[in-house]
């Protein structure tokens, strides 16, 4: 390949775009010191892939960008494009159809770099492969700086070997060999890692299989435990149902007894009320008799008072006996009548006293009967209280049975939730086992592909080794 043209923009002293053509017959670039001849060589070396800022006479790679002057501002990018002619045919096979090849490199002040081959973004490796075996390159023998000839002549044989191999055209194959060896080493490391991963996955797979077996046994034990618990719960439920029926029958009997006792109590209370009413009527009649006695006593007192007054009048009459004889006879008659009336009243008072004693005796008997009925009522009340306590005990037992029934229902619900949770865990473990199996299959397929690539690389190395031996012989 021959250099046809170079375009420089922002590289070192080339602040403006500069294009240099190299038509046939151009053998050298001459000029005074400081005109930029060395910068052109640095630009050519840089666009070919030079990575050392020291070889470009700088401290860091950003030093190649125009840094500004008194009249010009610094630029933010450096770009060099190198165009080669392909007339001599010394180009890689894939570029034979191109009339020229343009290599471009850009560098921005933030450190970002770009490579272009025929205005298409590419890698530095593509540019390096382009210049291999052509004698052109950043470190090839085609670019020898001033003062480097003596260094080459005085260098060690192994240092000059690079230039000789470049001239012989084996650098490309050695580079490819190094790349292949690196790939083989990377593949070997990947195989080791894959082996470790497969071993770990197999270990995890065995662990998951053991866990799955344990989960299956746990599920069987849990099903058996569930059946046993359901059987016990059913038996307990049947027993509780029988107890419930017995308690319900006892409760009905007690309710019937309570109804009978309530009827008897109501009848007793009704009889007691009737007796109380009769007693009240007798008390009313007794009060009427007592009022009559009090009235008779008042009349007797009035009669006595009248007798007292009459006695006083009798004294007066004695003093006036002569004068009131007729009145005395009349008074004697009245006195006799009064005495007769007093006797009659005394007899009636005796009768009333006898009747009052009889009524008091009847009242005492009624009070005794009332006291006996009160005691019977107390006994009925105590019996009713005992029945109520028994009823409350039955209701408490029913409440305890309901609580036990609710607790059993809750236990059944908890067991159902636990069964559902275990089923989901089993499904999850089965999914993880399936995913692990798929991953193991994919890794085994990848291992097979890597082994195939390794075998293909080994055959390629054997073929190259045979070609090298054949060429040597």
pLDDT band (50, 70, 90) for residue 141: very low
SS3 content of the chain, % helix, strand, coil (to 5): 70, 10, 20
Tell me what the pLDDT averaged over the chain comes to: 77
- Please determine, for residue 344, whether its predicted confidence score (pLDDT) is greater than 60: yes
Better-predicted residue by pLDDT, 371 or 200: 200
Q: Where are the domains of the chain?
A: 2-169, 216-459
- Please determine, for residue 360, whether its predicted confidence score (pLDDT) is greater than 70: no
- With tokens 């570029």, the residue in question is 95
The mean pLDDT of 225-246, rounded to a whole number, is: 86
Most confident range (mean pLDDT) of 95-104, 189-198, 266-275, 382-391 is 189-198
Q: Cβ contacts of residue 156 below 8 Å, gap of 6+?
A: none
Looking from the CA of 184 toward its CB, the CA atoms found within 13 Å total 14
Q: Which of 209, 227, 101 is nearest to 201 (CA)?
A: 209
Better-predicted residue by pLDDT, 246 or 95: 246
Percentage of the chain exceeding pLDDT 70: 74
pLDDT band (50, 70, 90) for residue 121: very high
Percentage of the chain exceeding pLDDT 90: 5
Q: Cβ contacts of residue 335 below 8 Å, gap of 6+?
A: 307, 310
Taking CB atoms within 8 Å and a gap of at least 24, the contacts of 345-349 are 345/296, 345/299, 345/300, 345/303, 348/296, 349/293, 349/296, 349/297, 349/300
State the Cα angle at 180 between 174 and 184, rounded to 5°: 145
pLDDT band (50, 70, 90) for residue 105: very high
CATH 3.40.50.300 for the 2-169 domain, yes or no: yes
Sign, Cα dihedral of 322, 323, 329, 331: negative
When mean pLDDT is compared across 241-255, 291-305, 326-340, 421-435, the lowest value belongs to 326-340
Better-predicted residue by pLDDT, 297 or 113: 113
- Please determine, for residue 206, whether its predicted confidence score (pLDDT) is greater than 80: yes
Structure tokens that stand for 227 in this block = 């059946």
What pLDDT, on the 0 to 100 scale, is given for residue 114? 93
The H or E element spanning position 183 is: helix 171-319
- Please determine, for residue 72, whether its predicted confidence score (pLDDT) is greater than 60: yes
pTM value surpassing 0.75: no
When mean pLDDT is compared across 174-188, 230-244, 318-332, 385-399, the lowest value belongs to 318-332
When mean pLDDT is compared across 4-18, 320-334, 368-382, 445-459, the lowest value belongs to 320-334
């Amino acid at each position: 390949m021959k250099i046809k043209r170079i375009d420089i923009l922002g590289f070192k002293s080339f602040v403006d775009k500069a294009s240099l053509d190299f038509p046939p017959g151009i053998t050298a670039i001459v000029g005074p010191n400081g005109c930029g001849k060395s910068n052109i060589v640095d630009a050519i070396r840089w666009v070919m892939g030079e990575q050392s800022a020291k070889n470009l006479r700088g401290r860091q790679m950003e030093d190649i960008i125009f840094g500004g002057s008194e009249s010009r501002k610094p630029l933010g990018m450096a770009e060099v494009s190198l165009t080669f002619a392909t007339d001599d045919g010394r180009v890689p096979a894939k570029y034979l159809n191109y009339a020229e090849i343009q290599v471009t490199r850009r560098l921005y002040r933030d450190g970002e770099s770009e490579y272009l081959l025929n205005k298409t973004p590419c890698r530095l490796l593509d540019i390096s492969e382009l210049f291999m075996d052509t004698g052109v390159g950043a470190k090839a023998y085609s670019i020898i700086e001033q003062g480097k000839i003596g260094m080459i002549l005085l260098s060690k044989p192994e240092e000059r070997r690079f230039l000789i191999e470049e001239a012989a055209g084996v650098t490309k194959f050695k580079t490819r060999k190094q790349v292949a060896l690196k790939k083989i080493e990377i593949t070997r490391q990947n195989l080791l890692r894959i082996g470790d991963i497969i071993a770990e996955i197999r270990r995890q797979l065995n662990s998951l299989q053991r866990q799955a077996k344990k989960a299956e046994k746990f599920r069987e034990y849990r099903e058996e435990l569930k059946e046993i618990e359901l059987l016990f719960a059913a038996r307990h439920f049947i027993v509780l149902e029988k107890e419930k029926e017995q308690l319900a029958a006892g409760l009905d009997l007690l309710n019937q007894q309570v109804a009978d006792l309530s009827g008897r109590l109501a009848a007793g209370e009704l009889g007691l009320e009737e007796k109380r009413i009769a007693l009240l009527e007798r008390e009313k009649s007794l009060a009427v008799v007592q009022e009559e006695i009090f009235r008779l006593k008042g009349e007797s007192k009035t009669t006595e008072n009248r007798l007292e007054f009459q006695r006083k009048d009798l004294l007066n009459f004695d003093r006036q006996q002569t004068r009131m004889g007729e009145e005395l006879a009349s008074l004697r008659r009245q006195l006799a009548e009064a005495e007769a009336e007093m006797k009659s009243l005394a007899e009636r008072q005796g009768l009333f006293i006898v009747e009052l004693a009889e009524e008091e005796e009847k009242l005492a008997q009624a009070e005794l009967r009332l006291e006996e009925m009160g005691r019977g009522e107390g006994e009925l009340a105590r019996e009713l209280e005992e029945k109520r306590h028994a009823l409350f005990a039955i209701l408490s037992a029913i409440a305890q049975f309901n609580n036990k029934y609710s607790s059993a229902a809750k236990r059944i619900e908890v067991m159902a939730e636990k069964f559902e949770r275990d089923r989901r865990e089993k499904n999850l473990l089965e999914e993880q086992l399936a995913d692990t199996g798929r991953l193991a299959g994919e890794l085994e397929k990848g291992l097979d592909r890597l082994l195939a690539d390794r075998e293909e690389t080994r055959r390629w190395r054997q073929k190259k080794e045979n070609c090298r031996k054949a060429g040597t012989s």
